[in-house]
Structure formats: structure tokens, C-alpha cells
Amino acid sequence: MHIIDIHEGNSGTTFFSLMVDGREVGRMVCNIRPGILRVGHTGVDLSQRRKGYGKKLVDAAVDYARKNDLKMIPECGFVAMMFNKHPELYEDIRGAR
């Protein structure tokens, strides 16, 4: 079972943490400003890759952006790849650099 928590910082730096069996196996670091969620890095533990955890982090950030009326700017290569591969899923929230 997995759990994704959001940790919001005072300076706008936020991260999504993906926990599996009580252990953090993935993290997505973002910066939130008025109207914008800028994704800087997504990482998944090497031993946990190819299990769909990166996509779960993207989906969590996308849900957060939609609920909070934010446009996402994918500065992370993985997130940019997901946005380019599935534009029909993300075009409504994709922001310009």
C-alpha cells in the first residue's frame, strides 16, 4: 500500500512524499507561487523503479494543481516527458515556462 503526503514549506518550496510500508520511496519537489506550481525534481528509489510510483507522484501533483487552480510548469524531465506523452491528460493545467 502506498500513501502520498504533501509537505508545504513557508517559502513556497513544497514536496510530495510517496511512502510504501512506512518508508519513503519517492519524492517530488515543487515551488508554489500564486497561480503556478513549478515541478523541479521527481525521484524514486532505484529499488522501487518500474512500479508506477513516478506517475503516482505526477498524478498527486496534478490533482493538487487542479484543486488549487494552479498551472503546472514541468521543469523536471520526467514530468515533462509525461506531459508530452499524454497531452490529453494534462493540457488543461500545463503552464508555459
Angstrom distance (rounded) from CA 40 to CA 14: 10
pTM of the model: 0.90
Residue 95 covered by a domain = no
Residue 12 has pLDDT above 80, yes or no: no
Q: Dump strand ranges (E) for 2-96.
A: 2-8, 13-20, 23-33, 36-44, 71-74
Residue 58 covered by a domain = yes
Residue 11 has pLDDT above 80, yes or no: no
Residue 96 covered by a domain = no
Residue 13 covered by a domain = yes
Whose CA is closest to 30, among 63, 73, 68? 73
Mean pLDDT of 49-68: 94
Residue 39 covered by a domain = yes
For residue 84, the domain's CATH number is 3.40.630.30
**Structural domain count of the chain:** 1
The dihedral sign for the CA sequence 82, 86, 89, 95: positive
Residue 77 covered by a domain = yes
Residue 70 covered by a domain = yes
**In the prediction, which pLDDT does 27 show?**
95
Angstrom distance (rounded) from CA 82 to CA 9: 26
Residue 97 covered by a domain = no
Task: Kindly list the strands in the beta sheet with 2-8, ordered across the sheet, starting from the edge strand earlier in the chain.
Answer: 2-8, 13-20, 23-33, 36-44, 71-74
Residue 83 has pLDDT above 90, yes or no: yes
Determine the structural domain holding residue 9 and report its residue range: 2-90
